[in-house]
Structure 1
Amino acid sequence: TLLCAWATETIGLHAVFGAFAFGVVVPRDLLASKAPEAAQRIERTSLFLLPVFFTLTGLSVHFDSLGWRGLVMAVGVFTVACVGKFAGGAGVAYL
């Protein structure tokens, strides 16, 4: 995992993409036979680490470097996401 994360960081992508790619290609049957408790440990760890990752990623965004066009696009994406989430929930609740 660390080697894949390092490789993607070296080529200019974020390290999490390399770790994700490694997780995609690892055979599940082999992992389950060698370390049956690994899936439970990964799930427990991800319950803590995923919110931390997204929090740190969000806090590292510098809105002043986006410029006006980027800021308008970010607000637009945020607005569409919120309206879509509300409309989807309201539509299902209505049905």
Structure 2
Amino acid sequence: MTAGRGFIQEHSPERRRAIIAEFEATWQDYPSASAAAREIATNWEIGRTTLTGWLEDEGKWPSATVHQLKRLQRENERLRKENARLRAQIVGSSD
């Protein structure tokens, strides 16, 4: 068993701040906040749930706003319509 694995480990406040700062500075470069948390936590050799817990405790976990959700719903609907149009076009051209 690797040392420190499977046991609660204390982290210094400086280390915690550095990890959170890295997340805040880079999470938007990842496909999602969860993907960022997973990779950053792995790089720092901490658990993903530890990192997300820290971020939630400090109110720094990114959450979608109602505006963002509405925009994504509209985009999803547009993409569904475009997908249906393209499928119909493919089916129509194969006749």
TM-score, structure 1 as length reference: 0.36
Q: Which has the higher helix share?
A: 1
How high is the TM-score relative to the length of structure 2?
0.36
Q: Based on CA coordinates, which of the two structures has the bigger radius of gyration?
A: 2
Structure number with higher relative contact order (C-alpha < 8 Å, ≥ 6 residues apart): 2
